[in-house]
Chain A
Amino acid sequence: MVIEVGNKIPSCRLHQGNPGNRVDIAELIANKKAIIFGVPGAFTPGCHRTHLPGYIADYEKIMAKGVDIIVCISVNDAFVVDAWGKSAGAENKVVMLADPAAEFTKAIGMELDATPVLGNIRSKRYAMIVSDGSVSYLNVEPDVFEEFCQIACNAVQNGLNSKVYQVTAQKLNVPSNVIKNSLSGLVHLFSESAKLSLNEIDFQDSVLTIGFNEDAKDSLLKTYKQILEEVRKNLSNVSLSVPHYRNLEWRFDIQVASRALRQQVEPRMIFKLTTMENDTPVCKLLQTDTNNLSHMVSKLEAALAEMKTNHCRRIVRNI
């Protein structure tokens, strides 16, 4: 069960300094205003360079805002967490707690499967403000994979942007080539699936062979459903275009005279037909007389009626 604003922090014993020193998180923050933040791993680049140091640096400011205690929780053994805290200068500022079995992390639904990178289940990056034991504010970092899906999503609509590679490559400490290839792969997966209009089951089957884990598969499916409609619309715009009807304006005139002939009474229907050709509207001015007008209408009505014939229905049903 994922924790939400308004929920109470569950009681759970975490390790501080060494495995023997147990601290119950619920007791620790009872009757206090607390900030609890979770990190995927001690000494990992993002956590070590920016996340923890950020809290340490702004410690005075945070305390000035009425916060009583700042707690950092990571799924590591107690020794590592302690050493990390000391190396970052967290003593007397941030309480460093270890959740080695991810007991607390799972209890609040913040577990992150980091097996490929860190070897086991870790914690998502999150931050929450807790007042009197219940969550008043919660912010969770979106899953990296989900972010990738979103980036691929944008890329399908707007094209791949090399700036994005640089930024993501830096964040994850991975060469930008790898990012580029993985994004291209995702983009290809989404656009091919949209082109073939795969339904959910077919999409999941295709993804199965690639070997993603469960969460990844869910993110992929979610993103796919999100962009399916748009991508199909864009693809249909790309395919060969014939002048396509857009609008028809009409005006009923009666010609009363011309230079060559006075005293006329000639009814005339004037049309402005707008068609889209290669994404530009083209307006044509046409006219017709009343006989041709009724003839036109009867022919086009017959065309519409064709749709309801058995022959047409059979084809639509069977293809």
Chain B
Amino acid sequence: MEISKKVLEGLETCANSSHFSDQAFEDLCQITFGVIMKDKVESDIQGIKSLASISDKSILKQAYASLITFIAECARVDASSASINTTLEDCKFTQERISCFTGIYFQRKHQIRQLLGGISFRLPHIVDTDWRMDYVVKSNSLEKINAINYTINFKVEDQNENRNDVQFCCSVEELQDLVWKLKEAIKAVERFS
């Protein structure tokens, strides 16, 4: 877990009862987690009575920023409760505040990790498959074709969630080849798990 000095200082500010009462601390935690989870917005901080009453806004900012960084870092490395405890104790957190924090943290951890997982880049991702079966009768250059033709469409989403479908056609044998290869792939997955 890599935590910079600034963040540690900020955490100490959080721990300080003279700046943040217990209630204020709890509210700060809730709202910070909410912002990470995207169900609250930073401007909501103004709405909370206990936080609005803090006169020195720079302290509020510092505390909020370091708390958010800390949460993200813990989720990133999947910190154990032992290491979280140690770090917070080093920042002069009381046991109460530690348990308040870790309570909410472990509750939300899984979701936060999912969010982080989505941040990296990835290849266009197939999300769905459509198919169509046609019977080809003739064309302008060739008559009496009389063949079955499949058109397959893969719904593909790229990183920015833009749709970018891949469409192609194939004959019966080619479709069988494709399905066989996909089944091989599935078998490899099953063997692994």
Contact = CB atoms under 8 A, between A and B. Distances in A.
B48 interface: no
Interface string A289-319: 1101111110111011011000010011001
Contacts of A162: none
Interface residues of A, number: 54
Contact of A239 (B77, B120, B140, B175): B140
A292 B182 CA distance: 11
B53 to A, nearest CB: 35
Q: Give chain B's interface residue range (CB within 8 Å of chain A).
A: 35 or more
B129 A260 contact: no
Contacts of B76: 260-262
A1 interface: no
A114 interface: no
Interface in B40-86: 75-78
Interface of A is mostly: mixed
A285 B166 CA distance: 11
B133 interface: yes
A79 interface: no
A261 B119 contact: yes
Interface in A222-255: 232, 235-236, 238-240, 242-245, 248, 250, 252
A296 B124 contact: no
A129 interface: no
A31 B150 CA distance: 72
A263 interface: yes
A287 interface: yes
Interface stretch (B6-14, B28-36, B141-149): B141-149
A264 interface: yes
Contact of B141 (A197, A239, A258): A239
Interface of A: 195-197, 232, 235-236, 238-240, 242-245, 248, 250, 252, 258-264, 266-267, 269-271, 273, 275, 284-290, 292-297, 299-301, 303-304, 306-307, 312, 315-316, 319
Interface of B: 75-78, 113, 116-117, 119-120, 122-131, 133, 135, 137, 139-146, 148, 150-152, 154, 156, 166-170, 172, 174-179, 181-186, 188-189, 192-193
Given A242-B151, A271-B126, A287-B122, 17 more contacts: A235-B141, A236-B139, A236-B142, A245-B152, A248-B181, A250-B184, A269-B185, A286-B156, A287-B124, A292-B128, A293-B185, A300-B179, A303-B175, A304-B176, A307-B148, A307-B172, A312-B133
